[in-house]
Chain A
Amino acid sequence: MQTLIAFWNILRKDIENYYLKPPNISWGIIFPLSWTLMQLIRSQGDIGIEELLSGLMAMSVLFGTTSMLAVTITFERRSRSFDRLLIAPISISTLVIAKILGAILFGILNAFVPVIFAAFFINLSGINWGITLAAVILIAITSALLGLLIAVSAKEVFEAQTFSNFFRFPMLFLCGLFIPIDKLPVILKPISFCLPLTYGTDILNGAITGNSIFNAIFNISVMLVFTTLLFYLCLRNIKTKWIL
């Protein structure tokens, strides 16, 4: 019960103090929306909204989860308020989950912003919503853990921002969000398959358009492996880099 109280209050503080603040909304929502418009205008009607939807959803989750997490954790580390959490009688695993959960929830909400817009233009009844939700959750978890991994490595807020963009922007092109993996140069394909977002987007593609590289069970399994790996990597890095 005591752990639960601490967990809930860390989550609530982060949501109130960070995730519901204007900078987060601008990065998490406005950026994916602008991207949508850019894609639609550029394609001049060649690309259907349905084909764009999985990429837009994946991008919204990616930016929604990572827009604040790395920056706020680095900021809390700089101001040493994060030390309060490290010296609280809760396990590091509980702390990690509480810190990333706010980002995950915000990412999941962001994912459905393009869906709401798409609902005005196309019929979405053919989409497998169960698989879509699972994909969105897994993308949110892996993206949040990547954000945390960056936060552990960064000492300054600007470093966190730079590192975030360093992995976010290439992922837009490498993970099949807007450019299909089979159309990527051969040299880039192995990189694509090393990134968790590739598998998440593939699940979304399968659930929304029916076109995917792998089947959903394989993709989900790979995502779960990435989640476990990233979680333990984050725990290890926190223990070695923050508790010196």
Chain B
Amino acid sequence: MGIVDVANLKKSYGEIVAVDDISFSIEKGEIFGFLGPNGAGKTSTINMMIGLSRPTSGQIIIDGIDAIKNIKKVQRIIGIVPDENNLYDEMNGFDNLCFCASLYGISIKEREKRAMELLEQFNLTKAGKRPFKTYSKGMKRKLTIAAGIIHNPKILFLDEPTTGIDIESARQIRELILDLKKQGKTIFITTHYIEEAERICDRIAFIVNGKIVKIGTVTELMESVEREHKIRLQLDRSIKDIKEELENNIKNCRVEIPEENSCLVISKERIALSPILQLLDSKGISVYEAKEIKPSLEDVFVKVTGIEASKLKKEKEKVGK
């Protein structure tokens, strides 16, 4: 049993099924990622886990507590960073943090101490006296994360923590998330950034149309799909005219020509280079570079979900704008 156990969770809005019978478990101290496009059911799942939405059916157990029956007990041990920076515009950073701490019943002395510490940790000490509305997107995001952990929760829910912010702020936030993991926090993160999930998550679930289609560590996910070996050759000219001959002469390989002076040799088995090089040499074609192309999590995601990574990237750009 993990620190979070979700079983057969379902959420419907009338005829629309937002989350469709999903089950997963999160181990203590791990970063668990939900990766999927917009509308996949990521936020709906998080909302049910934190008490902002009621499941149609299923079970959520957080730290041994039934989160559907005793959500207020669960809310005491969890921290939440929503997908929008929802702090109070008119209040300054310090007061926002103190207010959020007060909601958990933390005494005035303790919450002021925690707020100062967090402002320092998040490099916001100077900005702490400024109203929240004057912050940049990155600063707002950081303060929202600080507000989510001010009461020192056991488990942290982060909904799209780096969406719509600049690269540097996103990098800082990823570092902060990894720091929180080092402090022993369990983190549930939703994202539609494949690289982000690959970089920081211990385990990832691919969610599409409300269903979890694959779940595992990055290595497990990579190994779960039939792996193809790919070698990219950089040539001095195009090989369009001998493509067929090349395929006939190399066992169980197919050749693709993505660019004029290069080709991809693809096979389900390991590819021996010498016969290819010999053949190309006999045709008077020079090979400048041969490079193995390793599959990425993006390839796995595309293969498993059938969703082109470019679709996720477009969503990313849209949100960023």
Contacts and interface: CB of A to CB of B under 8 A. Distances in A.
Interface of A: 1-6, 8-10, 13, 17, 79-81, 83-91, 243-244
B103 A1 contact: no
Interface in B75-126: 75-76, 80, 82, 84, 86-91, 99-100, 102-107
A5 B107 contact: yes
B86 A83 contact: yes
A86 B87 CA distance: 14
Given A83-B52, A89-B75, A244-B53, A1 B86 contact: no
B283 to A, nearest CB: 64
A87 B86 contact: no
B154 to A, nearest CB: 13
Contacts of B89: 79
B267 to A, nearest CB: 51
Contacts, number: 70
A87 B52 CA distance: 7
Nearest to B47: A244
Contact of B103 (A9, A91, A244): A9
B52 A9 contact: no
Contacts of A3: 105
11 contacts: A1-B105, A4-B105, A8-B102, A9-B99, A17-B90, A84-B86, A87-B75, A88-B75, A88-B103, A243-B54, A244-B54
A79 B75 contact: no
B266 to A, nearest CB: 48
A interface: dominant SS: helix
- The 8 A-B residue pairs with the shortest CB-CB distance in the complex, in nearest-first order: A2-B105, A9-B102, A88-B103, A80-B86, A89-B75, A89-B76, A5-B105, A81-B86
A89 B104 contact: yes
A91 B53 CA distance: 15
A237 to B, nearest CB: 15
Of listed B72, B80, B86, B103, residue having the most chain A CB within 10 A = B103
B104 A88 contact: yes
B51 A83 contact: no
A91 B103 CA distance: 11
Contacts of B103: 6, 9-10, 84-85, 88-90
Of listed A10, A83, A86, A89, residue having the most chain B CB within 10 A = A89
Contacts of A81: 86-88
A5 B53 CA distance: 26
A61 to B, nearest CB: 26
Nearest to A18: B90
Contacts of A84: 86-87, 100, 103, 147
B19 interface: no
A87 B141 CA distance: 18
Interface string B23-48: 00000000000000000000000000
A86 B86 CA distance: 13
A112 B234 CA distance: 87
A174 to B, nearest CB: 37
A243 B82 contact: no
B50 interface: yes
Contacts of A88: 75, 103-104
A5 B86 contact: no
B72 A79 contact: no
A243 B104 contact: no
Of listed A80, A84, A86, residue having the most chain B CB within 10 A = A84
A80 B104 contact: no
Contacts of B105: 1-6, 89
A8 B108 CA distance: 12
Nearest to B78: A87
Contacts of A6: 102-105
A86 B106 CA distance: 17
Nearest to B77: A89
A243 B51 contact: yes
A3 B105 CA distance: 6
B98 to A, nearest CB: 8
A10 B100 CA distance: 10
Contacts of B82: 80, 83
B28 to A, nearest CB: 21
Nearest to B79: A87
B202 to A, nearest CB: 25
A8 to B, nearest CB: 8
A20 B50 CA distance: 33
Contacts of A9: 99, 102-103
